Structures are given as C-alpha cells and as structure tokens.
Structure 1
Amino acid sequence: MRNFHPDNNCPVRNVLCRLGDKWSMLVLITLNANGTMRFCDIHKTIADISQRMLTVTLRTLETDGLVSRKVYAEVPPRVEYELTERGKSLMPHIEGLVNWALQQLPGIMESRSQTGIP
C-alpha cells in the first residue's frame, strides 16, 4: 500500500481530482464514442451540462493534454475537439469502470434501497 500525500506531489490525488468531477468522464466518453466533435454537438450529447461548465471542463481536459482543440478561421468560427493520444490511452480504464458500473448498478441500487439512501 502506498501513502497518499496530502499535497500536490501525490499523483493519484492530482489526476483523480481532475477526472473525478461530475463532467470530465462524460466528456471523454462522448469524444471517444463520436470522434471529433464541435462544442454544440458535445453539448447536445450531454444535455444537462451548462455551456459554461462544458467550456470549463473542456479547458481543463485540454490543459491536461487529454483533449485537443482546433480552431478554424471561418465565419462564424468553427472549433472542434478530439481526444489526444493521452486521452485515448485513458479510455480502456474508463471503459472498464463504465462496464463495472453497468454490471453492478442493480446490486448497488438494491443496497441503497435497503439503507433508505437513494
């Protein structure tokens, strides 16, 4: 077992903090499933995310090198997003978590109903 240091030197905390928010994994899964996408298409796919939160999430994923952003000099401007090689290398791990969640959800929901927690 490793020690998880409470500062920025802990790689586990550092990375999971960025990926463990409400939207990052959904954006990554969406880009992985659909390939290159425009902002409005991502927003339509993840219908309950606000435009501001999608912008913040995409910027964070871009900063971490998981998503690339390409701006085309057109009127109106066109911006496309896609997974980088680093982002693609993360996807098997996320897909494993998604598959686990799908398999375990009935049991998790049953456990929650037994405790009265939704």
Structure 2
Amino acid sequence: MQEEIIEKKYTQAHECPITLFMEQIGGKWKPVIIWVLLLNEVMRFNELDKAIGGISQKMLSQQLKDLEKLDIVIRKVYPVIPPKVEYRLSEKGKSLEENLKMIMSWSNQNLK
C-alpha cells in the first residue's frame, strides 16, 4: 500500500496528499498552534495567545476554527459565566506528533 502511494504519479497538484496536507495544515500559524497544544494538552484561548508570539487574536481565532473544522482541534465550551472555552487536540490532531517531530528535525538540520 505505501509503495503504491509513493510510486503514484500525480497529474494535478491537488491530487497529491502532500499538497493537500500543506494547504490544510501548513502555513504560518497552524503548525505552531498544533505544536503548542501537543506540549500543553488543554489550553484556553488567552493561554494560547500568550504562548504564541506575534499572532493576532483574530488570526488565532480563525486558525482555531479552521483546525476545528478539520477535526484536528476540539473546542469545549463550558456553560458558565464568564464563558470558559478550552482547546485540545483530537486523536487525529495528536496523530500528527511524530510527523511534526520529523519535520522539525529535518528543518533544524537543513534550513538554518
């Protein structure tokens, strides 16, 4: 099965699983958000905002919504006042850990 995937020739960029991954989970902020949640397990919005330098609250909110739609992040709202919202990775999100570690390792060795 894996050899089949590697040997397949893609005639369109959108057919390539790597392109799809990079379009949906790549970018400037999503990998950072995923990594911070991997390290912290459960975080509130303001904790994420403080942990990720340079991201606006609007951008953080949008990126979290995108990751939630992809079933990478779970958003839990508690019925209390003031509102309490927590973010955590789904099992699907947690499954990215080893891949992100490999990307980080490769990047540290090759992109400095």
Give TM-score, length-normalised by structure 2. Answer: 0.84
Greater alpha carbon shift after TM alignment, 21-30 vs 3-12: 3-12
Greater alpha carbon shift after TM alignment, 9-18 vs 70-79: 9-18
Structure 1 pair 71/6, CA: closer, same or farther in 2 (3 Å)? same
Structure with greater Cα Rg: 1
Q: What corresponds to 2:61 in structure 1? A: 55
Distance in 2 (alpha carbons) for counterparts of 1:24 and 1:73: 27
Q: What corresponds to 1:78 in structure 2? A: 84
List runs of 5+ in structure 1 lacking aligned partners.
109-118
Q: What corresponds to 1:113 in structure 2? A: none
Distance in 1 (alpha carbons) for counterparts of 2:50 and 2:38: 15
CA positional deviation for 1:19: 1.4
CA RMSD, Structure 1 to Structure 2 (Å): 1.7
List runs of 5+ in structure 2 lacking aligned partners.
1-6
CA positional deviation for 1:7: 6.7
Aligned residue pairs total 106
Instruction: Identify the match of residue 24 of structure 1 among 11, 24, 30.
Output: 30
The one-letter code matched in structure 1 to 2:32 is L
The one-letter code matched in structure 2 to 1:104 is N
